[in-house]
Chains A and B, each alone.
Chain A
Amino acid sequence: MHFTYNADKSIWTSVLGSLLSEYSIFAPFRFDNHLEYSAVTKNNLDDIIYNQPKPSSPLKTFFLPVKENVTRSYAEKDNRIIIGIPACDLNALSLLDEIYLNKDYIDPGYSHYRGNTLLIGCDCHTINEHCHCTSYGFHPYPDENADIVLSRTGDNIILVPKSGKGKIFLKNYFEDHKKESPEEIQKIEEIRASVEKQLEKKNKDLPGYKQTGNLIIQSEEDIWQKYSDNCVSCGACSAICPTCSCFLFIERPGFEKVRSIDTCQYPGFERVASGDDPLRPLFKRFRNRYLCKYVWKPEKFASKACTGCGRCIEACIGEINKNDLFKELKIKVTSET
C-alpha cells in the first residue's frame, strides 16, 4: 500500500459534512433489510454504511440513469462523490467504460458523469449469501476504478488514494491526517484474507468465469428449458446487473432522444422489420444473457461481463439461481465427457 490517511470517524464525517456545499454525495444506507445508495445529507452522515457488500441497486445507475435525455447539453458542473462502493460494482465499470467510452463513439452523458464523480470504494468485511466475486478472479476489496479505498477499523477511517484524482482530493481535504498506519493496514490485510477465504470456501463448486463460458458452449437446450421454466421475462436480472447496459431510444418532439434501459430478456428485443425474432422462445432469451456475459463479451472486450455480485439471484422473482445452473451444468458436462 502507498501512504495512507487515518482519521477518527467523527473527523471524517465532519469533513464530509463540510463538503456537502461543493459536492452531491451518495453512500449506502440501510432500508429495512437491504442497503441502497442514497443521498448524503447533514442529518444522515452518521448512518452511512461502510465495508458491507453491495447495495441492492448497482452503481451503474449513476452513470446510465434508467431514463436519460441523451441529446441534452452536459455543460453543468455537478461534482459528485460516491462512498462505500464494493469491488463488484467498481469492477463492472471496466466493461461499461469499454462500451460507453469507446474511442469511436464516446457517449456524452456517461463520459460527463464519469468525469464528475469521485469513487470511494470500500473493502467488504462480510459476505452476502450469493456473493461470488472470487470465483471470477476478483477480490472482495477494490483494486480497479476506485479513486480512494476506504476501510473502517474500529473508530478509525483509513483512506488510501488509488488515482491522481483521489490523491488530489485527500491532499485538499485530509492533508493533516496523512500518516503511516502499519497496524491498521495489517488489520485490513487480515480481514481481506479472511473474507476472501470465506468466499472461496462458500463457492468451491462454482466453475470459474472462462470455464462457465466453455460449459455454456457445450450445453444442450434442456438445462436452459429447465431453468427458464420459472422466468417471467421481468428483466430484473438485467436491471440490477452492474454490467448489463443495453438500452432503447424513445423519440421526443424537437428531435430529442431519451435513452431507456432495456434488456434481451424482454420479448421483441432482437425482432427485425420482417418479423423474425431469434429470441422469441423464452429459453433462448434466458440463455442469451449468459451467452452474452460468458461467451460473446469475452471475445470482444478485455473486461469481464460478470463480477460475481449475485444480485441477479437475489432479484429473481422466479427464484432462478444461475450459480445452481452452472454447478449443475458442470456436473452434467463433466459426466458426459
Chain B
Amino acid sequence: MTAKTAELYKPVKAILTRVITESPSIKTFVLKPEKEFHFKTGQFIELILEGIGEAPFTPSSSPLVKNQLEVTIMKTGYVTGKIHNLREGTVMGIRGPYGRGYPLEQLYGKEVLVVGGGCGFAPIRSLLYNIEAEKDKIKKLIFCYGSKTPQDCIYKNYIDHLRGVDKFEVLRSVDKADETWEETEGVVTTLLNDISVTVENSTAVVVGPPVMMKFSVQKLLEMGYPENKIFLSMEKNMSCGLGKCGHCMMGKYFVCKDGPVFSYDEIKDQPDIWN
C-alpha cells in the first residue's frame, strides 16, 4: 500500500486563527494548516469539525498563499451552524484539495466575465486573487456581483480594492435596495445589459445559487456566448471528494472528481443541474 493510499482519508490539521463576520449569515474562517496546503483556484476542500462532521467548501483565499487558508461559510445547516459557533484556536481538519478548478488557461488572452451571486463570491474571490496576480495574461475582467440586500453584500473592503485594480471593472446589484445603496437594483442578470464586452473574445465564469446560475446562463447564451465558453461551479452534496460515495452524482458525473467546475456544454444534458 502506498503512503498516498494509507493517508487517503486522513486530514491535515489546521488552527482557526481568526473569524471575520461578513454578513449576518456569512463568516470567513482563517485557518493555519500544520503544513503548506496547495490548491488550485476552484478546487474544493472538506473542512472537518472533529467528531461532528465535515462539509465541502471552495477556499476563498488566494491559491498562491500556501501557509494560510480562508473559507467563507454561510450558516445553512447542522455542520455550518456548529462551525459558525467556533472560537479562534480550534483545531480543524482539512481534506483535499479535490476536483477540477477554474480553467485558467481558457481565460488567458480573453475578456473575462465573472458573474457571481450571494456566497458564490467566496470561490470567486480565490479566482480573482489568482487573476489579479496574472493580470498581464488577460485583456480585461468584468465582475458582476448580485446579492439579495445591501447587508448581504460580502467582502466590502475587497470590492473597494478590486475597483482600483487595473483592467478590472466591478458592477454590483441587489435584489432589494435601501436608501444606502447607490448601485444597481435588480437581479444580477440586469448588470449584464450594461457591460461592454466582446463576446467573441470572452470567457464567462458563473458561480452562485442554482437559480441565479440558471438565469445567468440563459442570458449569456442570448448574448452569444458559446456553450463551451461558459464555466460553472456546481453545487452538489460532495462528501468523499474521491468519486466513490455517490452523493454528488449528476447523471454520469461525480461532481467532486469530474467537476465541480464544468463548461455548460458538458453538463447541459445531465439531470437536475439546477437543483
Contacts and interface: CB of A to CB of B under 8 A. Distances in A.
Nearest to A106: B5
Interface string B255-268: 00100000000000
A102 B240 CA distance: 14
Interface stretch (A37-45, A221-229, A263-271): A263-271
Given A105-B244, A249-B240, A273 B77 contact: yes
B244 A108 contact: no
A14 interface: no
A192 B1 CA distance: 39
A173 to B, nearest CB: 27
Contacts, number: 118
Interface residues of A, number: 43
Nearest to A244: B246
A51 B160 CA distance: 74
Nearest to B7: A108
Contacts of A249: 54, 239-240, 245
Interface size on B, as a range, is 35 or more
Nearest to A238: B246
B235 interface: yes
Contacts of A271: 237
A299 B51 contact: no
B50 interface: yes
A71 B93 CA distance: 13
Given A74-B6, A108-B1, A255-B13, A274 B210 contact: yes
A299 B6 contact: no
A200 interface: no
A264 to B, nearest CB: 7
Contacts of A257: 9
Interface string A266-284: 0001111111111000000
A154 interface: no
B5 A108 contact: yes
Contact of A70 (B9, B48, B50, B209): B9
Contacts of B4: 106
B54 A274 contact: no
A251 B53 CA distance: 5
B51 A253 contact: yes
Contact of A269 (B49, B52, B247, B251): B247
B10 interface: yes
B9 A278 contact: no
Given A248-B239, A272-B236, A273-B76, A255 B244 contact: no
A71 B50 contact: no
B214 to A, nearest CB: 12
Contact of A246 (B11, B76, B245): B245
A251 B235 contact: no
A182 B54 CA distance: 59
Contacts of B272: 270, 278
A107 B8 contact: yes
B93 A255 contact: yes
B226 interface: no
Contacts of A100: 244
A247 B249 CA distance: 13
B49 A251 contact: yes
A295 B270 CA distance: 11
A144 interface: no
Contacts of B236: 270, 272
Contacts of A251: 48-54
A104 B257 CA distance: 10
Interface in A70-120: 70-71, 73-74, 99-100, 102, 104-108, 111-112
Which of B5, B11, B53, B54 has most chain A Cβ within 10 Å? B5
Contacts of A276: 210, 275
A149 to B, nearest CB: 28
Contacts of A105: 8, 242-244
B195 to A, nearest CB: 27
Contacts of B104: none
Which of A111, A247, A251 has most chain B Cβ within 10 Å? A251
Nearest to B235: A272
Contacts of B244: 99-100, 102, 105, 107, 245, 247
A292 interface: yes
A255 B8 contact: no
Contacts of A270: 236-237, 247-249, 272
A271 B238 CA distance: 10
A70 B239 CA distance: 14
Contacts of A104: 242-243, 257
Q: Considering the complex of A and B, which 8 residue pairs feature the smallest CB-CB distances, nearest first?
A: A246-B246, A278-B272, A299-B252, A105-B242, A273-B76, A253-B51, A276-B275, A106-B5
5 contacts: A108-B5, A251-B54, A254-B50, A255-B13, A273-B74
Interface of A: 70-71, 73-74, 99-100, 102, 104-108, 111-112, 245-249, 251-255, 257, 262, 264, 269-278, 291-292, 295-296, 299-300
Interface of B: 1-2, 4-6, 8-11, 13, 48-55, 74, 76-77, 80, 93, 209-210, 235-237, 239-240, 242-249, 251-253, 257, 271-272, 275
Given A71-B10, A73-B6, A251-B51, 5 more contacts: A107-B8, A248-B239, A249-B239, A251-B49, A296-B252
